[in-house]
Amino acid sequence: MKFSEMKYERPDLDKVLAQCEEYAKKMAAAQSGEELVQLYREENAMMAHYHTASCLASIHYTQDTRDEYWSGEQEWFDATGPAVSNAARNVAEAILSNPHAKALEEAFGTRILPSLRNLVLSMDDRVIELQKEENALTSAYQKLYGGAMAELDGKQLTIPQLTLYKQSTDPAMRRKAYEAEAVYFDAHRAEFDEIYDKMVKNRNEQARILGYNDYSELSYIRMNRIGYGPAEVAAFRQEVVEQVVPMIQKALALRNKRTGIENPMFWDSTISFADGNPVPHGSYDELMAGARKMYHELSPETAEFIDFMQDNEMFDVLSRPGKMSGGYEEMLPDYKTPFIFANWNGTAGDVDVLTHEAGHALEGYLAARSPKNIPEDIQCPGMESAEIHSMSMEFLTAPWHHLFFKEDTDKYELLHAEDSFIFLPYGCMVDEFQHIMYQQPDLTPDERNAVWLELEKKYRPWNKFGDLPFYGRGAGWQRQLHIFECPFYYIDYCLATAIALQFFVASLKDHKDAWQRYMKLTNLAGMATYTELAESAGMKAPFTKGSLTELSRAVADWIEQHQVS
């Protein structure tokens, strides 16, 4: 079924809650493991209808945040979603109370019982009203950001559309693009500050009610992190500072030599070649045709997948006014279909996001059709694992990148490797910033910005802002959607990048073998933890001292050996 043909109907909230309550009673009383497994499957199928409606409303809302009808539907889910989440939490508690709960692990893998425990520990009915308020604040941020327009070059541009100007070969134009962006954020400075302040206090209050010191503790439960915690993540961040940052500084020295920029400022960080960054060659239709050819040649599974996606209108990737910034993949479980949302802007990032979100979508597409008949709740792994699918796909499609970049393919490969490497300290900076924000919730807006600038010195010491507005005062974090919408998610990209770069190195030696290992990991869906998934593909989780030493050296060496003028 095409996306435009999918009918939306607001769920009957009372019916959904009553069904959850009924399943909770049945699961608590199940007389055998077999009965409990069957009830779990039935409850998942029932909730799939609610999740499909919720996702349809969210997709339509983000496609145009100005649309009154879809804004209203999003507000309804914002208000009612916490009650449904609490009902799901009660179902999980009922399962865990049953003496036959171990049968779920035998049926669905090691991750399911810890996930259910985390769900029970992550909320209860005491925080429902606070969660409603949190959802409303998130929607307010989306609307504020989604409505952002900037004037530049005689045009009214969305924030994503500014990216092309930020990559201009003219340094004056690059700075003007950043200044144009700053005009909007500075004009709405008080609103962004107020929304975030309320979010921090709201989430910390939820954590306090549930028995945690602050939201940074609760977030590890809500993000369903299994087998590692804050200490391991802190150790990973330190590894990035010690092992990756010095290698990046060497790579950036090579980049500066290529561009001829002797004293690079922050607004020069987006230019990688003296004659300009590589950009995709072709129209929207030509690029989508290239994607179809690429996935047809990659494997039988990806061939079937891309035909389904393109033939059923499951891509919305062009930027336009009112459309929410960013990109995502969302599953519509009733239809067993992924949907890909992005904001193409004519830069190399268009291909990055195409392959990235396709990695998510392929996993969801395969899991929904798995012969293992995997229940919806465990079709997708934890987010740090899900990002392995997406970030590794960016590298594993390399043999076909010429379809998009033609004679500039070598430039794109170098740019992509550099940017993936450079991302690691930025992602860690976002994570440490959030820990500080929730552990010191009474910081003023100016103090928050000062923390961000201090972290810049630690993680990205090469950045020089000068008198650039917005960024120069340390407020650049406010354009990072995840900090507002899904706190503590961002480190997942870093943990996944640590695995994706291993796939990159492996693919250079034997692409066929790397792809087979990727598919082995992907086909485990949500039935294994992050560490288990990494091990299934012969990769190493990056939590021990020195775990990034060899990898960072291998990536830095590749970058040095593949310089393109």
> Tens of pLDDT along 195-206?
999 999 999 999
Of the CA atoms within 13 Å of residue 406, those in its CB half-sphere come to 6
Which amino acid is it at 185?
Answer: F
152 falls in which pLDDT band (50, 70, 90)? very high
Res 146: pLDDT:
87
CB 73 within 8 A of CB 57: yes
b/e map of 208-225 (b: 16 or more CB within 10 Å)?
Answer: eebebebbbbbbbbbbbb
Whether the CB-CB separation of 19 and 46 falls below 8 Å is answered with yes
- The C-alpha atoms of residue 289 and residue 311 are separated, in whole angstroms, by 12
The per-residue pLDDT of the chain, averaged, comes to 97
What is the band of 377 on the pLDDT scale with cuts at 50, 70, 90? Answer: very high
Could you tell me the residue ranges of all domains in the chain? 3-137, 151-187
- Quick one: pLDDT at residue 148? 93
Distances (CA, A) of 342 to 144, 320, 323, 327: 18, 11, 9, 4
pLDDT of residue 244: 97
State the pLDDT at residue 282: 96
CB 162 within 8 A of CB 180: yes
Q: What is the pTM of this model?
A: 0.95
DSSP β-bridge partners for residue 329: 340
Percent of the chain with pLDDT over 70: 100
Among 393, 412, 392, which Cα is nearest to 403's? 412
Are the CB atoms for 361 and 304 separated by under 8 Å?
no
Provide mean pLDDT across the span 17-29: 98
Provide the pLDDT confidence category of residue 542 given band limits of 50, 70 and 90: very high
The stretch 249-277 carries a mean pLDDT of: 96
pLDDT for 565 equals 80
Instruction: Report whether pLDDT(423) > 90.
Output: yes
Task: Please name which of 179, 191, 118, 115 lies closest in space to residue 151, comparing C-alpha atoms.
Answer: 179
For residues 493-509, give the mean pLDDT: 98
| DSSP alpha helix (H) spans, 33-170 | 33-63, 68-97, 102-108, 112-122, 128-146, 163-166
